[in-house]
């Protein structure tokens, strides 16, 4: 990705726009809903698009079908503004431009206001806002009605941290505003379900995103730049976009499987529907890739099948239950395939098996290459992660894998994804370093920045290494080294270097130095065993 490009959610934050706006309070207590009854309310059409159809000169019929189901969502949350003393003097004019001068906050202000603050990019101060609505940031997004009694799907980032939410619904040419309550939201997929107290609404018809093909015509509907009931048209540019870093929670990576489209998506489109040429919802617009923050022809939408799986899980308690296999995985790229002596690339290599995990109980081992799971092909580590996370805990799933080049199948019963798994940070993050023991004989630098030592009785006791674990122990890691970035830690026991068992530091160093570019380490760490691929320079 170009360093000047950036991923932007298609959501308008407009604290400086439209003064005096006072949406109703958003409720947060979700009602209990029977999933079967909810499903019965959903309109679906999963028939395939016709092949070799005639060129359509107008999509007016499609637009007339979807627009009554598209809503504009207004949310507000407290503005988090820094203390003026914390802002460097050279940046204060920029701060004043967007948030007003310090004396403006909490005061009515009797100066003449700009006649058109929106076009000039200047803040417009509210006339007499209630005290509890001062310092509110206004956000504008979109949503799509999925049931006639008021269930609406949107993005989590549209309503996240919102103190107040209001939904504007088309009412036969006029607009009617409703108070919204949050049924549930999932930051890890950016899907949210809200509800308004209404009946007789026009729900959208949902399609089948699994049948999408690159080149299919799609239309994006929503409220870009607060221009409600707007529609743009393009095609499906790509499918299965993942690892874009668009969704997540804190340092926890989200689950991505985006539809890429060149249909124009801009701030305010977030949560709005992406529909096919028959007007069926096949995605939820979420983000754009842009240097300027405006549409550049690269937009992303959550597939409707994935979004509906999340929505159904949110209905009962507002939370999502995800399956947990208990492995760390990596793509089988050319470098790893060469180290594992695999002729073909593709699939997910098992780099760590958690102690006591469903994977360990099923017999999954390090260096296994998972090629299919639960009947679905695995072409990358991100695909495996998506399949497992979307499967309910307690489900027994077959795992097709290659072990030493030979195909085999094992069956694992998934656990629920534990909270501590979500709290884990990625490779390269380190805990509090322990003081390194003094340099002794039988000590060697294995790769740049990593010092190993023979595993003596004293070191076993110091690091709680069981008697049946053999190899060399890491006694020092340079925190600025590539090895530290890849996750090597003090106290790790390295049992194999480049798939060969090692018993001494000298033996480990000899094997490592025989590698031109990378070194494959098998590591024991506090009961878990994992593979780490380290650059050798």
pLDDT digits (tens, 9 = 90+) for 116-150: 443 333 333 334 445 455 556 778 999 999 999 99
Torsion of CA 333, 336, 340, 342, to 10 degrees: 20
Catalytic residue among 186, 190, 276, 368: 190
> Where are the extended beta strands (E) located within 414-537?
415-416, 443-447, 450-454, 472-477, 493-497, 500-501, 518-525, 528-535
Q: Does 478 or 150 have the greater pLDDT score?
A: 150
What's the pLDDT band for 79 if we cut at 50, 70, 90?
A: low
Catalytic (active site) residue 190: yes
pLDDT-derived band at 516, boundaries 50, 70, 90: low
Q: CA–CA separation, 209 vs 46, rounded Å?
A: 9
- The answer to whether the CB of 153 falls within 8 A of the CB of 192 is yes
Tell me how far apart the alpha carbons of residues 534 and 428 are, in angstroms, rounded to a whole number: 12
Q: What share of the chain in percent tops pLDDT 90? A: 37
* pLDDT, average across residues 64-82: 83
Catalytic residue among 75, 157, 290, 463: 157
What is the reported pLDDT for 204?
95
270 is catalytic: yes
DSSP helix/strand/coil, 462: helix
Nearest C-alpha neighbor of 14 from the set 209, 176, 169, 224: 224
Active-site residue, 463 included: no
Q: For residues 67 and 80, what is the distance between their CA atoms, to the nearest angstrom?
A: 35
SS3 (DSSP) at 471 = coil
Between CA 532 and CA 523 the distance in angstroms is 7
Cβ atoms of residues 280 and 216 within 8 Å: no
Q: Return the bridge partners of 236, or none.
A: 261
Residues 6+ apart with CB under 8 A from 112: none
- Which residues are paired to 138 by β-bridges? 76
Q: What is the mean pLDDT of residues 150-167?
A: 92
- Catalytic residue chosen out of the listed positions 76, 142, 270, 382: 270
The winner for highest mean pLDDT among 91-105, 354-368, 511-525 is 354-368
Q: How far apart are the first and last CA of the chain?
A: 26
Residue 351 CA to chain centroid, in angstroms? 22
Answer whether residue 15 shows pLDDT above 50.
no
Task: Considering only CA atoms, give the Rg of the chain.
Answer: 27
The pLDDT-based confidence of 537 (bands split at 50, 70, 90) is low
Instruction: Quote the tokens at residue 332.
Output: 């089988």
List the structure tokens of 289: 């890739």
**Tokens representing 173?**
């040419």
Phi, psi of 251 (to 5 degrees): -95, 5
CA distances from 258 to 190, 306, 460 (A): 11, 10, 47
Helix (H, G, I), strand (E, B) or coil at 119: helix
CB 62 within 8 A of CB 275: yes
Q: Which of 10-19, 66-75, 294-303, 349-358 has the highest mean pLDDT?
A: 66-75
Residue 145 class from Cβ within 10 Å (0-12 exposed, 13-18 middle, 19+ buried)? buried
pLDDT at 431: 34
CB 503 within 8 A of CB 511: no
Answer yes or no: are the C-beta atoms of 274 and 143 closer than 8 Å.
no
**DSSP letter at 356?**
T
Answer yes or no: are the C-beta atoms of 269 and 235 closer than 8 Å: no
For 366, the token pair is 């390090």
Provide the 8-state DSSP code for 425: -
Q: Residue 41: which H helix or E strand, with range?
A: helix 35-41
Q: Where are the alpha helices (DSSP H) in 42-91?
A: 60-66
Whether 500 shows a pLDDT value over 90: the answer reads no
Residue 428: predicted pLDDT: 36
Burial 345-382 (b: 16+ CB within 10 A, else e): eebbbbbbbbeebbbbebebebbbbbbbbbeeebbbbb
E strand spans, 359-454 = 369-373, 376-377, 396-403, 406-413, 415-416, 443-447, 450-454
Q: Are strands 217-222 and 299-303 parallel, antiparallel or unpaired?
A: unpaired
How much is the pTM?
0.70
CA distances from 329 to 90, 332, 501 (A): 47, 9, 22
3: pLDDT strictly greater than 50: no
Q: What does the pLDDT read at residue 499? A: 81
33-66 pLDDT, tens digit per residue, is 777 888 888 988 888 887 766 677 889 999 999 9
Name residues whose C-beta falls within 8 Å of residue 103's C-beta, 6 or more positions apart in sequence. Answer: none
Token couple for 491: 């106290």
What are the φ/ψ torsions at residue 313 (nearest 5 degrees)? -75, -25
Distance between CA atoms of residues 203 and 152, nearest Å: 9
Beta bridge partners of 398: 411
> H or E stretch including 305?
helix 304-317
- What per-residue confidence (pLDDT) applies to 387? 93
CB 74 within 8 A of CB 175: no
């Amino acid at each position: 990705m170009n360093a000047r490009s950036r991923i932007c959610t298609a959501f308008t934050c407009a604290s400086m726009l439209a003064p005096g706006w006072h949406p109703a309070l958003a409720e947060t207590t979700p009602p209990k809903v029977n999933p079967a009854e909810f499903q019965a309310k959903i309109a679906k059409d999963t028939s395939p698009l016709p092949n070799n159809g005639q060129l359509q000169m107008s999509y007016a019929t499609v637009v007339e079908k979807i627009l009554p189901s598209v809503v504009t969502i207004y949310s507000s949350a407290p503005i988090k503004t820094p203390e003026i003393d914390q802002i460097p003097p050279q940046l204060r004019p920029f701060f004043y431009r967007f948030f007003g001068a310090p004396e403006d906050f909490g005061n009515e202000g009797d100066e003449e206001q700009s006649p058109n603050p929106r076009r000039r990019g200047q803040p417009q101060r509210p006339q007499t806002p209630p005290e509890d609505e001062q310092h509110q940031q206004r956000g504008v997004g979109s949503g799509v009605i999925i049931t006639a009694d008021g269930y609406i799907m949107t993005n989590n980032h549209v309503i996240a941290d919102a103190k107040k939410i209001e939904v504007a619904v088309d009412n036969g040419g006029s607009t009617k505003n409703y108070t919204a309550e949050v049924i549930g939201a999932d930051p890890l997929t950016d899907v949210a379900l809200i509800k308004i107290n209404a009946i007789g609404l026009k729900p959208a018809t949902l399609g089948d995103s699994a049948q999408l093909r690159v080149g299919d015509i799609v239309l994006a509907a929503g409220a870009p730049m607060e221009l409600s009931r707007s529609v743009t048209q393009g095609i499906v540019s790509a499918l299965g976009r993942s690892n874009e870093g668009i969704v997540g929670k804190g340092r926890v990576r989200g689950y991505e499987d985006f539809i890429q489209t060149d249909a124009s998506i801009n701030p305010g489109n977030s949560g709005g529907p992406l529909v096919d040429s028959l007007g069926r919802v096949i995605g939820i617009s979420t983000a754009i890739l842009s240097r300027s923050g405006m549409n550049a022809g690269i937009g992303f939408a959550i597939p409707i099948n994935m979004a509906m799986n999340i929505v159904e899980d949110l209905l009962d308690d507002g939370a999502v239950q995800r399956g947990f296999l208990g492995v760390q995985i990596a793509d089988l790229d050319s470098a790893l395939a060469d180290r594992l002596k695999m002729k073909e690339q593709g699939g997910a290599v098992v780099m760590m098996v958690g102690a006591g995990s469903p994977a360990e109980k099923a017999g999954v081992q390090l260096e296994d290459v998972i090629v299919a799971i639960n009947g679905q092909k695995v072409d990358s580590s991100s695909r495996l992660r998506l399949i497992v996370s979307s499967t309910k805990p307690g489900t027994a799933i077959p795992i097709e894998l290659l072990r030493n080049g030979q195909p085999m199948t094992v069956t694992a019963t998934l656990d629920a994804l534990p909270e501590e798994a979500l709290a884990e940070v990625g490779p390269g993050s380190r805990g509090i370093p322990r003081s390194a023991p003094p340099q002794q004989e039988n000590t060697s630098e294995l790769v740049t920045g990593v010092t190993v030592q023979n595993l003596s009785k004293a070191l076993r006791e110091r690091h709680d290494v069981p008697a049946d674990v053999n190899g060399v122990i890491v006694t020092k890691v340079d925190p600025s080294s590539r090895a530290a970035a890849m996750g090597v830690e003090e106290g790790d026991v390295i049992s194999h270097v480049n798939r060969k068992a090692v018993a001494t530091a000298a033996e480990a160093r000899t094997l490592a130095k025989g590698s031109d570019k990378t070194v494959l380490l098998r590591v024991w760490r506090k009961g878990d065993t994992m593979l780490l691929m380290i650059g050798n320079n």
